C-alpha cells in the first residue's frame, strides 16, 4: 500500500478562521512533508518531519503551524491566513528522509482563503 491520504479534500476559510489539514500514511515511513502548490507551478517545500521531529522549515510564515503527533500522522494548523495562501497543499512521505528516497504524495487539500 503506497497511499497517503489527506483530509479535507477542499477547504474554504475566512482570514480570521482557524482550521487544520490532516495527512496520514500507513507505509511505516518515518519522514513526512508539507508542500504548497500554486496553479500551474511546481510544488514548493514547506516543512519536513523526520522521525517525528521538525527537520526543515523553509522560512514559512508562522500562520502555518505543522504538527506530527506520531509517525503516521501529520497536521498543518492554519490561522489568520491571507488570500494569497490559497493553493493546493500536498502531503508526502518517504522511508527515512534520505535524499535518494522516493516521496509518495497524497491527493492534496485545495484551500481557498476569502
Partner 1 sequence: GENVEQHPSTLSVQEGDSAVIKCTYSDSASNYFPWYKQELGKGPQLIIDIRSNVGEKKDQRIAVTLNKTAKHFSLHITETQPEDSAVYFCAKSYQKVTFGTGTKLQVIP
* Contact footprint for partner 1 (CB under 8 A): 4, 40-43, 45, 48, 56, 90, 92, 99-108
Pairing of strands 31-37, 18-25: unpaired
Residue 91 CB, shortest distance to partner 1, in Å, is 8
41 vs 77 by CB, closer to partner 1: 41
**Which residue matches cell numbers 500554486?**
38
Residue 63 CB, shortest distance to partner 1, in Å, is 22
Q: Cα–Cα distances in Å, from 20 out to 8, 11, 59, 69, 99?
A: 9, 10, 19, 13, 28
Q: Which helix (H) or strand (E) holds 44?
A: strand 44-50
Residue 35 CB, shortest distance to partner 1, in Å, is 9
43 vs 66 by CB, closer to partner 1: 43
Q: Which helix (H) or strand (E) holds 76?
A: strand 73-79
2 vs 16 by CB, closer to partner 1: 2
40 vs 53 by CB, closer to partner 1: 40
Amino acid at each position: 500500500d503506497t497511499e497517503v491520504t489527506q483530509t479535507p479534500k477542499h477547504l474554504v476559510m475566512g482570514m480570521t478562521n482557524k482550521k487544520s489539514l490532516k495527512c496520514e500514511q500507513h507505509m511505516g515511513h518515518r519522514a513526512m512533508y508539507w508542500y504548497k502548490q500554486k496553479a500551474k507551478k511546481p510544488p514548493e517545500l514547506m516543512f519536513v518531519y523526520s522521525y517525528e521531529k521538525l527537520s526543515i522549515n523553509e522560512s514559512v510564515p508562522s500562520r502555518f503551524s505543522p504538527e506530527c503527533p506520531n509517525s503516521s500522522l501529520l497536521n498543518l494548523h492554519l490561522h489568520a491566513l491571507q488570500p494569497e495562501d490559497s493553493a493546493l497543499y500536498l502531503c508526502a512521505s518517504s522511508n527515512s528522509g534520505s535524499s535518494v528516497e522516493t516521496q509518495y504524495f497524497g491527493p492534496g487539500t485545495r484551500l481557498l482563503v476569502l
